[in-house]
Structure 1
Amino acid sequence: MSLELLLTAFAIALIIEGIVPALFPNKWRAYVAKIAQEPTANIRNIGLSIMVIGAVLLWMLN
């Protein structure tokens, strides 16, 4: 994997992450406030689940 490919993937991730707050700032703010009320273990589990899904997708693509 080249550095260029890695930076391209990172740039796409940033674009995707920025779409929701740019289009729906009030709903995004309410969502972030709701997430802040969640227990740490739930947030950790969500993050780990997202990482596993990403790793599986990456593995399937290669």
Structure 2
Amino acid sequence: MALVIALVLVLEGLGPFCMPNRWRLFLLQLSQQRAASLQKYGGIMVIVGLVSLYYLWP
């Protein structure tokens, strides 16, 4: 479990580390989206993640 958390931290940190200005603009655009749109995209990400875990878990 700790390995998974560490990998998520590495992947999530790449954006702000490599492209801080683009990351800031991305977050600004994201903050201007409607809550329903963010909820829909979040749900899609959860489903894709769960399906990926199901197929990739050893």
Q: TM-score, normalised by structure 1?
A: 0.88
Partner of 1:20: 15
1:1-62 maps to which residues of 2 (within 5 A)?
6-62=1-57
Percent identity of equivalent pairs? 28
Moved over 3 A (4+): none
Q: Distance in 1 between matches of 2:53 and 2:30?
A: 27
RMSD across aligned positions (CA): 0.7
Q: TM-score, normalised by structure 2?
A: 0.94
Unaligned runs of 5+ in 2: none
Paired residues, number: 57
Q: Distance in 2 between matches of 1:32 and 1:61?
A: 30
User: What is the deviation of 1:61?
Assistant: 1.6
Unaligned runs of 5+ in 1: 1-5
